[in-house]
Amino acid sequence: MAPQQRRRARVDSARQTAYEVVHAVSVRDAYANLALAAALRDHRLDPRDAAFATELAHGTLRHRGGYDDVIGRCVDRALTKVDPAVLDVLRIGTHQLLGMRVPAHAAVATSVDLARSVAGVGPSKFVNAVLRKVAARDSDGWLAVTAPAYEDDPVGNLAARHAHPRWVVEAFLAALRGSLEETAAALEADNAAPRVTLAAWPGRSTVDELVAAGAIASRWSPHGAVLEGGDPAALAPIASRRAGVQDEGSQLVALALANAPLDGPDRRWLDLCAGPGGKAALLAGLAGERSAQLVAVERQPHRARLVADALQGNASPTLTVCADGTVPAWPAGSFDRVLVDAPCTGLGALRRRPEARWRRQPKDVAVLQDLQIRLLHSALASVRPGGLVAYVTCSPHPAETREVIAKTFAGRADVDRIDARPLLPRVPELGPGPDIQLWPHRHGTDAMYLALLRRLQ
């Protein structure tokens, strides 16, 4: 594109910010939250423009699959033949037209300016023509075209209506025991921006401090608080690394492990997959109240450094180890309580990761399940007879939850399964048991899963 063409393009900073985030996710597989934070710093937007850019970027990424379906019906070529920069401009323009209250003339005009800035005059005319076709229908009008009838294909209808891949809808439906009504509620909850939840790390800060700084005590976790607005990093307990940002569901599963009755010694705790360190920090504080020690293990060096940073300042001794959790670097039966927060698809945290639903693929599940089973066997080898193991995932997918437990139990007579629900007595609707399944639409938390196991003699 000629320099004079770029100079003629006038793009407001909020839309430019959103474009940089969406394009970084498209072409560099960037994480949206990290790309957005960097773009907001670069452009120094005021709070109003920052909020607009955030909604524009996250909304575009969240609904990308559905918007591609709409755009694909408005162009005369396969989307793979469209310049990636131009396609991202079309996605952002489509979100303004179908997902935000931006007037059509403004959505089209600003998208044309953006296309001229990033791709040139010719592509900007293409964007103008395509978005005028998109603007011919509203969101419901396009759903009438793109979504199958609910009566004929309820899963396909929910997938289109709530902007999730079909395989994710099928996984949610299986996890919710076939309830289409609850599945729809879970999908809808994924599309709502989550509140910022904080955790006061025991021995280092209190919920009262977080409340005094402007947060509200959370519903379920005695260590949690919700920040309705503002920058959490500006709060003194967060800035001084005495508290952290952590979903309430993550706090609850860690608390369940810490609160489970245990016979015999309770001196050594293990976090087998500790990165980036949020649950480790909470567990370290709880362990310290009992004069127990936490050992935190993380395979990736850069994540192990994050764990060490999170544990710095804990009152009781802790140890961070950079090691492969599937190959224990300690004698068998060394620990009294073990947490396995296993790597997973993250389908339980889609509301926080707008790009993840389109990035993950069904084939990922089988690969991760193999790793999850190996980690769980390693955890069971690491705990002493009578000790406890908590298997946790941030995914409700049955292949990453119930199937992992079933396959791990096969051929083993040395493990007992514990009803975890009584360990969270204030939290309703935890599922049929004995495991715990949290949901955004039921509890306002990420969809965390917990199975609690006891190693027998």
- Residue list, annotated binding site: 273-279, 298, 324, 341
Pairwise CA distance, residues 171 & 174, whole Å: 5
Which pair of structure tokens corresponds to residue 419?
């009803």
Strand, helix or coil at 17?
helix
Phi, psi for residue 83 in degrees, rounded to 5: -50, 125
Annotated binding site for S-adenosyl-L-methionine: 273-279, 298, 324, 341
Pairwise CA distance, residues 304 & 322, whole Å: 6
Question: What are the angstrom distances between the C-alpha of 386 and each of 10, 186, 290, 336, 389?
Answer: 67, 37, 18, 8, 10
Pairwise CA distance, residues 207 & 193, whole Å: 23
Q: What is the 3-state secondary structure (H, E, C) of 334-361?
A: CEEEEEEECCCCCHHHCCCCCCHHHHCC
Residue keyed to tokens 């976090």: 271
Strand, helix or coil at 213?
coil
DSSP alpha helix (H) spans, 119-227: 121-134, 139-146, 154-161, 166-175, 180-190, 207-212
Pairwise CA distance, residues 60 & 100, whole Å: 10
Active site residue 74: no
Residue 173: Cβ-neighbour burial (10 angstroms; 0-12, 13-18, 19+): buried
Name the nearest CA neighbour of 183 among 203, 204, 161: 161
Q: Which of 74, 322, 344, 394 is catalytic?
A: 394
* Position 23, amino acid: H
Which pair of structure tokens corresponds to residue 141?
């009008």
Catalytic residues: 394
